[in-house]
Structure 1
Amino acid sequence: MSQPAPKLSELGRFWTIPNILSMARLVIILPVTWLIVVDGPLWWIMVLLLLAIATDYFDGRVARWSDQVSDWGKVLDPMADKFGGGFVIAALTYIDALPLWFFLVLAIRDFSILAGGEYLRHKTGQIVASIWVGKIAVTGVAITALAALLKADEPVLLVCIWATVILLVYSFVRYFVRFFGYLRDPSSVQDLA
């Protein structure tokens, strides 16, 4: 039997340091995207991207270290990853630094994962955290974006693109298996991580 999805007020404390770090990542990505599109100074883009990457690195660690793991964090962190990566890759696609098909693979995967997570939340009342292979795929997206920004030689960029596509597809399959496993048996989610 389905449990009602938790209301926003039931997701726990919102204003925690880890959640602020995740939201900062979303804010940082906006000027990065703009600077990429207008061919802004590369050093500014790199500084802001490294700052965004640092917030991604520290938000989960701070949450665990300070005992501030929250359902909000389980929503904000992957959302910041997906929107951040999506905006940067969209900007790089817009300036022809990356192929459109790469952006589409990322966008379809991320939209499907977000939609599946929202469906599970409504169906079971549970908010499911990201899986490690998904975090590795996000790292691949970041490396590919950096390679494109630094105008890496075409063979290097192609290796980054294809390695990231493999990670994106593999992580999507893992999320897909996890999604259906969780629908069959909600207690199995830890076994599928």
Structure 2
Amino acid sequence: MVGVQQDQEVGSSVWTVPNVISFLRLALVPVFAVLIVSHHDVWALIVLAFSGFTDWLDGVLARRLHQVSRLGQMLDPAADRLFIFVSLVGLAWRDVVPLWLVVVIVARDVMLMCLLPVLARHGYGPLEVSIVGKGGTFALLYAFPLLLLAEAPGVLGTVAHVVGWAFTFWGVGLYWLAGLQYVVQARKLVAADAAAGAA
């Protein structure tokens, strides 16, 4: 959940208000996929805007209601990544974005997925989302609706195209920078574990 403080107690509850909101966001992913592929752009933008609002809302509620949970810490970034992936595939399907952009973003997530079994063998779970990773995700989640809006004619489409691609390049840069930070962090954890075992 966005903005969760490090010192807040993390619970194991499943049916919390923030988690229900995250489940709702996950349920909207296939709805958004159908809308974007079928060219229902207005409704697709509404779903994206609602998803962005609930992404902010579940973080706020988690802090104020003291309902930060381990499940929520996994659901929220999972919903973000699914929306990014579905947006990318849908926009590429419609030739709004080039295929190389899909490859660049998906390759980063595949790289991080390869770290999970390595970390698991040493008793570690998924690494905590960094502020850089949150920034990259934020930029990409704003970029894709703007690129979709760029299909509109006139000044609105032109401005959305320029701003959308600015967010895209910033997002990709931050996304990969965070990914490399995760790799370095994972190597340090594994090295420290190996050194402790040898001792």
**TM-score, scaled relative to structure 1:** 0.80
1:124 match: secondary structure: coil
Against the structure 1 CA distance between its residues 157 and 12, is the aligned structure 2 distance closer, same or farther, given a 3 Å change threshold?
closer
The structural deviation recorded for 1:157 is: 4.3
Q: Residues of 2 paired with 1:155 and 1:53: CA distance? A: 21
Q: Residues of 1 paired with 2:84 and 2:144: CA distance? A: 8
**Aligned residue in 2 for 1:110:** 109
Cα-to-partner distance string for 1:6-65 (whole Å, 9 max, x where unaligned): xxxxx822111111111211111211111111111x321121111111121122222222
Structure 1 segment 1-193 matched on structure 2, within 5 A? 12-40=12-40, 42-117=41-116, 119-151=118-150, 152-153=157-158, 155-185=162-192
The structural deviation recorded for 1:92 is: 0.6
> Is the radius of gyration larger for structure 1 or structure 2?
2
Instruction: Report sequence identity in percent.
Output: 26
Count of aligned pairs: 175
Letter of the aligned partner of 2:106 in structure 1?
A
Aligned-residue RMSD, C-alpha: 2.1
Letter of the aligned partner of 1:22 in structure 2?
S
Q: Which moved more, 1:97-106 or 1:60-69?
A: 60-69
Cα-to-partner distance string for 1:73-98 (whole Å, 9 max, x where unaligned): 12111111111111111111111111
Q: Which moved more, 1:157-166 or 1:18-27?
A: 157-166
2:122 match: secondary structure: helix
Against the structure 1 CA distance between its residues 121 and 52, is the aligned structure 2 distance closer, same or farther, given a 3 Å change threshold?
farther
Letter of the aligned partner of 2:63 in structure 1?
R
1:14 match: secondary structure: coil
Q: Residues of 1 paired with 2:32 and 2:133: CA distance? A: 23
| Residue segments in structure 1 that go unaligned for 5+ positions in a row | 1-10, 187-193
Is the 8 Å Cα contact of residues 74 and 128 (structure 1) preserved in structure 2? no
**Aligned residue in 2 for 1:191:** none
Q: Residues of 2 paired with 1:178 and 1:155: CA distance? A: 35
**TM-score, scaled relative to structure 2:** 0.78
Against the structure 1 CA distance between its residues 68 and 96, is the aligned structure 2 distance closer, same or farther, given a 3 Å change threshold?
same
Letter of the aligned partner of 1:38 in structure 2?
S
The structural deviation recorded for 1:148 is: 1.2
Letter of the aligned partner of 1:19 in structure 2?
N
2:55 match: secondary structure: helix
Q: Residues of 1 paired with 2:129 and 2:42: CA distance? A: 31
**Structure 1 segments of 4+ aligned residues over 3 angstroms from their partners:** 125-128, 152-158
Is the 8 Å Cα contact of residues 29 and 52 (structure 1) preserved in structure 2? no
